[in-house]
Structure formats: C-alpha cells, structure tokens
Chain A
Amino acid sequence: MAVLLRRLGHFVGNVIEGLGYIAAFAGHIVAVTVRPPLRWREFLDELFKVGVLSILIICVSGLAVGMVLGLQGYNTLVRFGAENSLGAVVGLSLIREMGPVLTALLTTGRAGSSVTAEIGTMKATEQLDGLRMMAVDPIDYVIRPKAWAMAVAMPLLSALFIVMGIGGGYVVGVGLMGIDSGTFLSSLENAVDFHDDVAGSILKSVIFGTLVGLISTYRGYTATPTSVGVSAATTSTVVLASVSVLIFDYFITALWGV
C-alpha cells in the first residue's frame, strides 16, 4: 500500500511538474510575442504549412463526414417523419461538435506531428543551439510562429470542414434522398444561432488550436536529441494532443454549453 501511494505521489508530482514546465513555456511564447520583431514572414510560412497544406485533407474529410451524417441522419429522421429537419441535424452536429473536434484531431495528425518532428530534428542537429549562439532565442524565431500559426489556422480549417460537411449533407439529403433544397436550407438557417453555435464553435477551435500548437511545439522543444527521441516526441504529440482535445471538448461543452 505504501509503495502504491509513493508511486501515485511520484506520478502526481511529475504531472504537476510537467504542467509547470508547459505553463512556463507558454509564458515564454507570450512574452516574446509582445516583443518586436513581429516575424510576419516566418508566421506566414508556418501558416502556409499548417493551414494551406491541410486544406485537401480537411475538405475530403469534411465532405465525407457530411455525407455520412446526411445519410445516417436521414435514415434516423425518416422513422419519425422528421426528415425535413436534416439540415438542422447536419448543421448543428458539424458546427457545435464535429467540425472543431475532427479538425483538431486531423490537424494534430497532419501538422502537429510534423511541427514536433521538425523542431526535434532541429534540436538533434544543433540548429537550436546554433540560433542561441547567434544570440537569437529559438522560442522567438522557431516556436512562436509555429504555435501562433496553429492557433490561427485551426478555426479557419474548422470553418472549411463545416462548410464542406454541410455541402456533403446537402448532396446526400437533397441530391440522393430527395429532400427539398429550400426545406434543407431553411431548417439549417432556423436551427443555427450565431452567438450560441457559430461563436461557440470558433471559441472551441481557437482553444484546440492553441492546445495543439502548445503541445506540438513543447514536445519538439523538449525532445531527446536522437532519432528515437524525436520519434517518441512525435508519437506523444499525437496521443497527448488528441486526448487533450477530447477532454477539453467535454469541459468547454459542459461549462459554456457550446
């Protein structure tokens, strides 16, 4: 029993210590953000890598999810004679939940892992030390643009996912199942509230983007500078960020009703 308690205490201590390091890391990013130079070029480069290069996977996934949602929604609603509400079901599901969450999970796998691997490799090849020796803070030059790009790209990608998803649901509902186009769209329009649904969706994806950006840059920055270490850091980014997104999703929904 004593051994178990000691191990538990050790585990809790490590978790608290880890959270402290991440908080200090986040504080450092905020501190360098308010300091010039603004590094627009590096930020736009990262925004391209995180955002633009994720567009294809987001569009394809959004369309597929929307189509499945349209099909499943129709099959369920038709039992109750409520198939005219398909637009509301597809729209609310995507805007409130599936858009932000699935976008965050997809972006973690595509861009978050790549951010960790890139920073970890820079550490292993002494590029971060090289920056320090040139009197340039790696958190300022390397980490800040990547973390901010993730936070900015996430709501934009989420919006794209939602639009593609609604499009997919429309194709299935109107094109295949024969629901009237006006009925689908008016159902969607009447159900979605900007303040409660759209703003909440944006809030969620901004929080998820910040979370994924922070975890992926932190894991890369603290990776053991070996090939095995970088690989382990990349894996842990995907696991930790995905689980964090799901946990945060629950609490945001519970606390803010989004």
Chain B
Amino acid sequence: MAYGRRPVLRGVSCTFRPGAISVVLGGSGSGKSTILKLIGGLLRAQAGRVVVGRIDITRFKESQLYEVRRRLGMMFQNGALLDSLSVLENLAFPLREHSGLSRAEITARVHERLAAVGLEDVDDLMPRQLSGGMVKRVALARAMMQDPEILLVDEPFSGLDPLSTKLIEALLVRINRTLGMTMIVVSHHIPSTMRMAGHVVLLLPDGVVEGHPTALQRSEDVRVRRFLTEETDTSEQILAHTHEFEAGEHTPQRPGGA
C-alpha cells in the first residue's frame, strides 16, 4: 500500500482474532488507520490480500463490498456524522436504509443504543452542537446500529479528556463482553490498550509484531517493550536521533529564548 510514492504497510501480515478486542499500535504514519480502511474496502491494496471472515475482498467490486460492509461497523476518528442530520436521524440512517423497520421501531432502537452509550435527550441536537466525547459516543452508537459482526474503531481516545477516555474504553469493553463482537481498534493510548486489549498488533518500520499485550511487554525486542511500557527517551536522546546541527549554521533556539 502506498500514498503517492510513500509506501505504508509493506510486508505486513496480521490476523485479528474473532470475538476479541485487537488494538493496532504504531507510530504516526505507520498505516494503522490504513489497515481499517483496507478491511472496510475504502482503500484498495496494491499487493497482497485482505480477508474478512473467510471472504477474500481484495478484488471485490464496490457493489460487492457493500454486502461485506453490512457485516461491519466503523467508528471514525472524528465521528464522520452526517452534519445535515440530527443525532436521531444519524443513528436512524443505517436502519432506514437497510432494515425495513417502522419509524417507531427505529426510534426505539436508536434510544436503546443512545442509552447504551450513556446519552439521553440528544435526539434533536445537530453534530456541531456535540462535545468531542459526545461525538465519539454517538459515532460508536451509529456504528453499532446494524449489530455488526466486526467493529472497526479508529482512534477512539484522541482529543478526549481522561474521564471521557475511560468512559469510551469502558463502553468498548462492555460491548465486546456482552455481544462478543470482534473489535479492531486503532489507538495511540497505551494505558487503555493494556487494560482492554486481548490482542495487540504493533506496526514497526520493518514489519509487524503481534500477541497478547502482557506477553509483548516482556518481548526481547527493545522497540516493542519500549512502545508498550511508554518508556521514553530523554529529550537529549530523542534529539540525538534527529538532525545534527552544525554550530554556527543552524543553531537550534530554545523555546522562549532569543
């Protein structure tokens, strides 16, 4: 897979366990969200195969992908709620399109899902009137509306305060435990990953490492251990990996300094 001339996910092979919460970790630009988009058929792999369940979707036409997507739900990083529709209409939308349920049944289902993510009295609010945490919860509820077999979750904790982060984490765990739904979560948040993940896929520049989070924490590969234990280099060590500045030509300036 490549964006222009920049390759991502070269030589990556991984399997996500059914019924488990799998968390995809990796540095920025390593292709974490790209994995979700490949599974959803939003991006086409330039080489290799993408198998969802037992179906190889790599060469599927767009019309064939729509059938596969009915088995998937996706919570986008910024919600991707339709901004011309209210919260109620956003959640009702997939059911209105595919279910054949009556208006009353759809409304009841929407309220049920909203209650499951801890939201009430938000039916008539427009997406722009919601806080960041509320957008995530509405997006999660919408992704769940069609009872998908696999839930794809893109950066559920980004931009959230610690309380909202723990709330979203608790919701994901509860959904997984009560419904046994397969979840593939892309995240940067190590503490949440360690608490909720049954399986971790770590994208490294030269390949992929996967396994149970506690097992990976004891990995012999120092890069894996460091990533999962959030061991951070001192700023001097980090700078040592970046540019070498030649004194007199590009002298780095201290923040606030002249």
Contact = CB atoms under 8 A, between A and B. Distances in A.
Interface in B20-58: 37, 40-42
Contact of A136 (B72, B83, B97, B152): B97
Contacts of B81: 127, 130
B225 interface: no
Contacts of A135: 66-67, 69-70, 94, 97-98
A130 B80 contact: yes
Contacts of B67: 135
Contacts of B152: 133
Contact of A133 (B42, B62, B98): B42
Contact of B78 (A126, A133, A134, A137): A126
> How large, as a class, is the contact surface on chain A?
10 to 19
B93 interface: yes
Nearest to A28: B62
Contacts of A134: 69, 93-94, 97, 142, 146
> How large, as a class, is the contact surface on chain B?
20 to 34
Interface in A122-154: 122, 125-127, 129-137
A177 B41 CA distance: 68
B69 A129 contact: no
B186 interface: no
Contact of A127 (B41, B66, B80): B80
Interface string B3-15: 0000000000000
B72 A133 contact: yes
Interface in B68-82: 69-70, 72-74, 76-78, 80-82
A137 B67 CA distance: 12
Interface of A: 122, 125-127, 129-137
Interface of B: 37, 40-42, 62, 65-67, 69-70, 72-74, 76-78, 80-83, 93-94, 97-98, 142, 146, 152
Closest 7 CB pairs of A and B: A130-B80, A126-B80, A133-B74, A135-B66, A134-B94, A135-B69, A135-B70
